[in-house]
Protein backbone atom coordinates (compact mmCIF):
# COMPACT_ATOMS: atom_id res chain seq x y z
CA UNK A 1 0.00 0.00 0.00
CA UNK A 2 3.06 2.27 0.18
CA UNK A 3 3.77 2.07 -3.54
CA UNK A 4 2.30 4.68 -5.87
CA UNK A 5 2.48 4.63 -9.67
CA UNK A 6 3.02 8.00 -11.31
CA UNK A 7 1.47 7.89 -14.78
CA UNK A 8 3.25 10.59 -16.79
CA UNK A 9 0.93 12.21 -19.34
CA UNK A 10 2.98 15.31 -20.24
CA UNK A 11 4.11 14.25 -23.73
CA UNK A 12 0.46 13.61 -24.67
CA UNK A 13 -1.87 15.71 -22.50
CA UNK A 14 0.74 18.44 -22.20
CA UNK A 15 1.96 18.80 -25.73
CA UNK A 16 -1.46 18.31 -27.37
CA UNK A 17 -2.35 21.72 -26.03
CA UNK A 18 0.66 23.77 -27.11
CA UNK A 19 -0.18 26.66 -29.41
CA UNK A 20 2.66 25.87 -31.77
CA UNK A 21 3.84 22.48 -32.98
CA UNK A 22 6.62 21.09 -30.80
CA UNK A 23 9.31 19.57 -33.03
CA UNK A 24 9.45 15.78 -33.11
CA UNK A 25 13.05 15.62 -31.88
CA UNK A 26 12.13 17.70 -28.82
CA UNK A 27 9.25 15.34 -28.04
CA UNK A 28 11.58 12.37 -28.44
CA UNK A 29 14.22 14.01 -26.22
CA UNK A 30 11.55 14.72 -23.59
CA UNK A 31 10.31 11.13 -23.56
CA UNK A 32 13.86 9.75 -23.42
CA UNK A 33 14.67 11.97 -20.45
CA UNK A 34 11.44 10.94 -18.70
CA UNK A 35 12.36 7.29 -19.30
CA UNK A 36 15.50 7.88 -17.31
CA UNK A 37 13.82 9.20 -14.16
CA UNK A 38 12.39 5.96 -12.80
CA UNK A 39 8.91 6.53 -14.29
CA UNK A 40 7.37 3.26 -15.46
CA UNK A 41 4.36 4.65 -17.33
CA UNK A 42 4.64 7.33 -20.00
CA UNK A 43 1.78 8.38 -22.27
CA UNK A 44 3.79 9.21 -25.36
CA UNK A 45 1.27 10.46 -27.94
CA UNK A 46 -2.22 10.05 -29.44
CA UNK A 47 -3.36 8.35 -32.63
CA UNK A 48 -6.21 10.77 -33.19
CA UNK A 49 -7.18 12.79 -36.23
CA UNK A 50 -4.41 15.26 -37.15
CA UNK A 51 -7.18 17.68 -38.12
CA UNK A 52 -8.43 17.62 -34.54
CA UNK A 53 -5.05 17.59 -32.79
CA UNK A 54 -2.35 18.71 -35.21
CA UNK A 55 0.17 18.96 -32.37
CA UNK A 56 0.44 15.15 -32.23
CA UNK A 57 0.36 14.43 -35.96
CA UNK A 58 3.90 13.03 -35.68
CA UNK A 59 2.67 10.16 -33.46
CA UNK A 60 4.28 7.33 -35.44
CA UNK A 61 7.57 9.21 -35.86
CA UNK A 62 7.74 9.79 -32.11
CA UNK A 63 7.04 6.14 -31.34
CA UNK A 64 9.65 5.06 -33.88
CA UNK A 65 12.39 7.35 -32.59
CA UNK A 66 12.19 7.01 -28.79
CA UNK A 67 14.43 4.66 -26.86
CA UNK A 68 12.30 1.86 -25.46
CA UNK A 69 13.70 1.41 -21.99
CA UNK A 70 12.98 -1.99 -20.47
CA UNK A 71 10.31 -1.88 -17.80
CA UNK A 72 8.80 1.37 -19.11
CA UNK A 73 5.41 1.29 -20.85
CA UNK A 74 4.84 3.85 -23.60
CA UNK A 75 1.11 4.20 -24.17
CA UNK A 76 -0.99 6.16 -26.64
CA UNK A 77 -4.59 7.33 -26.96
CA UNK A 78 -6.69 5.59 -29.60
CA UNK A 79 -10.26 6.88 -30.13
CA UNK A 80 -11.25 4.40 -32.82
CA UNK A 81 -10.07 1.39 -34.85
CA UNK A 82 -8.19 3.59 -37.30
CA UNK A 83 -6.13 5.00 -34.44
CA UNK A 84 -5.69 1.56 -32.90
CA UNK A 85 -4.31 0.06 -36.12
CA UNK A 86 -1.92 2.98 -36.57
CA UNK A 87 -0.75 2.66 -32.96
CA UNK A 88 -0.05 -1.06 -33.30
CA UNK A 89 1.81 -0.48 -36.53
CA UNK A 90 3.95 2.10 -34.72
CA UNK A 91 4.84 -0.47 -32.06
CA UNK A 92 2.56 0.70 -29.22
CA UNK A 93 2.00 -2.00 -26.56
CA UNK A 94 -0.59 -0.20 -24.42
CA UNK A 95 -3.42 2.02 -25.60
CA UNK A 96 -6.06 4.12 -23.92
CA UNK A 97 -9.65 4.59 -24.97
CA UNK A 98 -11.23 7.80 -23.76
CA UNK A 99 -14.85 8.50 -23.04
CA UNK A 100 -16.73 11.05 -20.99
CA UNK A 101 -19.43 11.21 -18.35
CA UNK A 102 -21.05 14.18 -20.07
CA UNK A 103 -22.79 14.05 -23.46
CA UNK A 104 -21.73 17.53 -24.56
CA UNK A 105 -18.08 16.88 -23.81
CA UNK A 106 -18.20 13.55 -25.64
CA UNK A 107 -19.59 15.33 -28.71
CA UNK A 108 -17.06 18.15 -28.59
CA UNK A 109 -14.06 15.92 -27.89
CA UNK A 110 -14.66 12.84 -30.03
CA UNK A 111 -17.62 13.85 -32.17
CA UNK A 112 -20.04 11.18 -30.97
CA UNK A 113 -22.41 10.39 -28.11
CA UNK A 114 -21.36 8.39 -25.05
CA UNK A 115 -23.21 5.29 -26.35
CA UNK A 116 -21.61 5.64 -29.79
CA UNK A 117 -18.18 5.96 -28.19
CA UNK A 118 -18.68 2.68 -26.32
CA UNK A 119 -19.65 1.02 -29.63
CA UNK A 120 -16.44 2.39 -31.20
CA UNK A 121 -14.38 1.04 -28.31
CA UNK A 122 -15.75 -2.52 -28.59
CA UNK A 123 -13.77 -3.58 -31.68
CA UNK A 124 -10.64 -2.00 -30.19
CA UNK A 125 -11.08 -4.13 -27.07
CA UNK A 126 -11.59 -7.29 -29.14
CA UNK A 127 -8.47 -6.72 -31.23
CA UNK A 128 -6.45 -5.64 -28.20
CA UNK A 129 -7.41 -8.91 -26.51
CA UNK A 130 -6.24 -10.92 -29.53
CA UNK A 131 -2.96 -9.01 -29.73
CA UNK A 132 -2.29 -8.95 -25.99
CA UNK A 133 -2.39 -5.16 -25.81
CA UNK A 134 -3.37 -3.63 -22.45
CA UNK A 135 -6.11 -1.04 -22.57
CA UNK A 136 -6.56 1.80 -20.13
CA UNK A 137 -9.87 3.64 -19.98
CA UNK A 138 -10.40 7.34 -19.33
CA UNK A 139 -13.57 9.03 -18.21
CA UNK A 140 -13.52 12.80 -18.60
CA UNK A 141 -15.66 15.29 -16.69
CA UNK A 142 -16.03 13.10 -13.61
CA UNK A 143 -17.26 15.98 -11.47
CA UNK A 144 -17.73 18.97 -13.81
CA UNK A 145 -18.22 19.52 -17.52
CA UNK A 146 -17.23 22.75 -19.28
CA UNK A 147 -20.58 22.71 -21.14
CA UNK A 148 -23.03 21.17 -18.63
CA UNK A 149 -21.70 22.18 -15.20
CA UNK A 150 -21.79 19.68 -12.32
CA UNK A 151 -21.87 16.04 -13.30
CA UNK A 152 -23.85 13.47 -11.35
CA UNK A 153 -21.67 10.55 -10.10
CA UNK A 154 -24.29 8.13 -11.54
CA UNK A 155 -23.27 9.26 -15.04
CA UNK A 156 -19.64 8.46 -14.21
CA UNK A 157 -20.52 5.08 -12.75
CA UNK A 158 -22.50 4.15 -15.90
CA UNK A 159 -19.44 4.71 -18.12
CA UNK A 160 -16.99 3.08 -15.73
CA UNK A 161 -19.13 -0.07 -15.58
CA UNK A 162 -18.95 -0.35 -19.36
CA UNK A 163 -15.19 0.26 -19.55
CA UNK A 164 -14.43 -2.31 -16.87
CA UNK A 165 -16.87 -4.86 -18.36
CA UNK A 166 -15.11 -4.39 -21.69
CA UNK A 167 -11.76 -5.29 -20.14
CA UNK A 168 -9.93 -2.05 -19.33
CA UNK A 169 -7.29 -2.91 -16.74
CA UNK A 170 -7.61 0.53 -15.14
CA UNK A 171 -9.88 3.55 -15.41
CA UNK A 172 -8.47 7.03 -15.02
CA UNK A 173 -10.95 9.51 -13.57
CA UNK A 174 -10.49 12.85 -15.31
CA UNK A 175 -11.18 16.14 -13.60
CA UNK A 176 -10.85 17.69 -17.02
CA UNK A 177 -11.31 21.33 -16.03
CA UNK A 178 -9.93 21.13 -12.50
CA UNK A 179 -13.12 22.22 -10.76
CA UNK A 180 -13.34 19.31 -8.32
CA UNK A 181 -12.72 19.79 -4.62
CA UNK A 182 -11.64 17.03 -2.20
CA UNK A 183 -15.17 16.34 -0.91
CA UNK A 184 -16.39 15.74 -4.50
CA UNK A 185 -13.49 13.38 -5.17
CA UNK A 186 -14.24 11.40 -2.02
CA UNK A 187 -17.96 11.20 -2.83
CA UNK A 188 -17.13 10.04 -6.33
CA UNK A 189 -14.65 7.40 -5.15
CA UNK A 190 -17.19 6.06 -2.66
CA UNK A 191 -19.54 5.49 -5.59
CA UNK A 192 -17.02 3.99 -7.99
CA UNK A 193 -15.71 1.60 -5.34
CA UNK A 194 -19.08 -0.16 -5.60
CA UNK A 195 -18.21 -0.98 -9.20
CA UNK A 196 -14.64 -2.26 -8.74
CA UNK A 197 -11.88 -2.29 -6.11
CA UNK A 198 -10.08 1.00 -5.65
CA UNK A 199 -6.94 -0.26 -7.38
CA UNK A 200 -8.79 -0.17 -10.71
CA UNK A 201 -8.84 3.61 -10.52
CA UNK A 202 -6.36 6.37 -11.25
CA UNK A 203 -6.87 10.07 -10.62
CA UNK A 204 -6.24 12.53 -13.45
CA UNK A 205 -6.42 16.02 -12.01
CA UNK A 206 -6.05 19.21 -13.96
CA UNK A 207 -5.01 22.11 -11.77
CA UNK A 208 -7.11 24.99 -13.11
CA UNK A 209 -8.29 26.07 -9.65
CA UNK A 210 -5.23 24.95 -7.68
CA UNK A 211 -7.16 21.99 -6.22
CA UNK A 212 -5.22 19.13 -7.76
CA UNK A 213 -2.87 18.27 -4.88
CA UNK A 214 -5.72 18.44 -2.37
CA UNK A 215 -7.83 16.23 -4.60
CA UNK A 216 -4.99 13.75 -4.99
CA UNK A 217 -4.50 13.68 -1.22
CA UNK A 218 -8.21 12.88 -0.85
CA UNK A 219 -7.76 10.06 -3.37
CA UNK A 220 -4.68 8.71 -1.58
CA UNK A 221 -6.63 8.65 1.69
CA UNK A 222 -9.29 6.58 -0.06
CA UNK A 223 -6.65 4.13 -1.32
CA UNK A 224 -5.97 5.36 -4.88
CA UNK A 225 -2.44 4.35 -5.84
CA UNK A 226 -2.09 5.53 -9.45
CA UNK A 227 -1.81 9.26 -10.10
CA UNK A 228 -1.64 10.89 -13.52
CA UNK A 229 0.58 13.93 -13.72
CA UNK A 230 2.36 16.04 -16.27
CA UNK A 231 5.98 17.16 -16.30
CA UNK A 232 6.25 20.91 -15.62
CA UNK A 233 2.44 21.03 -15.32
CA UNK A 234 2.11 21.08 -19.10
CA UNK A 235 -1.23 20.66 -20.69
CA UNK A 236 -4.93 21.02 -20.91
CA UNK A 237 -7.55 19.74 -23.27
CA UNK A 238 -8.11 21.49 -26.59
CA UNK A 239 -11.83 20.68 -26.38
CA UNK A 240 -12.33 21.98 -22.82
CA UNK A 241 -12.13 25.75 -22.79
CA UNK A 242 -10.32 27.05 -19.72
CA UNK A 243 -8.75 23.71 -18.80
CA UNK A 244 -5.21 24.33 -17.65
CA UNK A 245 -2.46 21.77 -17.33
CA UNK A 246 -2.41 18.62 -15.29
CA UNK A 247 -0.90 18.75 -11.86
CA UNK A 248 2.90 18.93 -12.20
CA UNK A 249 4.72 15.62 -11.77
CA UNK A 250 7.38 17.28 -9.62
CA UNK A 251 4.79 18.72 -7.19
CA UNK A 252 3.00 15.36 -6.81
CA UNK A 253 6.33 13.61 -6.34
CA UNK A 254 7.41 16.09 -3.68
CA UNK A 255 4.18 15.40 -1.78
CA UNK A 256 4.41 11.62 -2.17
CA UNK A 257 8.03 11.65 -0.97
CA UNK A 258 7.02 13.68 2.08
CA UNK A 259 4.19 11.23 2.80
CA UNK A 260 6.68 8.34 2.70
CA UNK A 261 4.99 6.81 -0.35
CA UNK A 262 7.32 5.08 -2.79
CA UNK A 263 7.35 5.75 -6.54
CA UNK A 264 10.89 4.84 -7.60
CA UNK A 265 11.07 8.19 -9.39
CA UNK A 266 14.04 10.52 -8.81
CA UNK A 267 12.88 14.06 -8.13
CA UNK A 268 16.10 15.77 -9.24
CA UNK A 269 15.88 14.13 -12.65
CA UNK A 270 12.19 15.10 -12.93
CA UNK A 271 13.04 18.72 -12.12
CA UNK A 272 15.85 18.73 -14.69
CA UNK A 273 13.42 17.36 -17.28
CA UNK A 274 10.79 19.95 -16.35
CA UNK A 275 13.35 22.71 -16.96
CA UNK A 276 14.47 21.07 -20.21
CA UNK A 277 10.98 21.12 -21.76
CA UNK A 278 10.11 24.51 -20.27
CA UNK A 279 13.26 26.06 -21.76
CA UNK A 280 12.34 24.54 -25.11
CA UNK A 281 8.87 26.09 -24.82
CA UNK A 282 10.29 29.43 -23.71
CA UNK A 283 8.69 29.68 -20.28
CA UNK A 284 9.16 28.61 -16.66
CA UNK A 285 7.68 25.31 -15.41
CA UNK A 286 4.15 25.52 -14.06
CA UNK A 287 5.29 23.90 -10.84
CA UNK A 288 6.20 25.28 -7.44
CA UNK A 289 8.81 22.59 -6.83
CA UNK A 290 10.70 23.23 -10.06
CA UNK A 291 10.68 26.97 -9.43
CA UNK A 292 12.37 26.51 -6.06
CA UNK A 293 15.04 24.25 -7.57
CA UNK A 294 16.02 26.49 -10.41
Q: Is 110 in the site for ligand HMG (CB under 6 A)?
A: yes
Q: Is 58 in the site for Mg ion (CB under 5 A)?
A: no
Q: Name residues contacting ligand HMG, limited to 223-252 (CB under 6 A).
A: 237-239
| Chain mean position to CA 84 | 17
Q: Cβ closer to ligand HMG: 169 or 259?
A: 169
Q: Is 13 in the site for Mg ion (CB under 5 A)?
A: yes
- Judge whether 237 counts as a catalytic residue: yes
Among 22, 53, 216, 247, binds ligand HMG (CB under 6 A): 53
Tell me which of Mg ion, ligand HMG, none is bound by residue 138, counting a contact when its beta carbon lies within the kind-specific cut-off of 5 to 8 angstroms.
ligand HMG
Q: Cβ closer to ligand HMG: 151 or 271?
A: 151
Q: How many CA atoms lie within 13 A of 60 on its CB side?
A: 10
Q: Is 174 in the site for ligand HMG (CB under 6 A)?
A: yes
Q: Is 140 in the site for ligand HMG (CB under 6 A)?
A: yes
Q: Cβ closer to Mg ion: 239 or 275?
A: 239
The strand pairing partners of 246, in sequence order, are 206
Q: Cβ closer to Mg ion: 127 or 147?
A: 147
Q: Is 46 in the site for ligand HMG (CB under 6 A)?
A: yes
Confirm if 200 and 233 have CB atoms less than 8 A apart: no
Measured CA angle at 49 (ends 286, 76), to 5 deg: 55
Q: Is 207 in the site for Mg ion (CB under 5 A)?
A: no
Interacting residue ranges for ligand HMG, rule: CB under 6 A: 13, 16, 46-49, 51-53, 77, 79-80, 82-83, 86, 98, 109-111, 138, 140, 174, 176, 204, 206, 237-239
Interacting residue ranges for Mg ion, rule: CB under 5 A: 13
Active site residues: 237
Amino acid sequence: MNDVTLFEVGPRDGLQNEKTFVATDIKVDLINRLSNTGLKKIEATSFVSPKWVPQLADNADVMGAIEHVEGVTYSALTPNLKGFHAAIEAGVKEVAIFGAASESFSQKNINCSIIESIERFKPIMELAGEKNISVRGYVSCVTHCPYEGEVNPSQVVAVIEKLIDMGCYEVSLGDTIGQATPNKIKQLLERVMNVAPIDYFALHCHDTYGQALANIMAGLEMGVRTIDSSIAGLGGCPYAKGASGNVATEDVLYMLNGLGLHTGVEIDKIIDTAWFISNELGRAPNSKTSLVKR
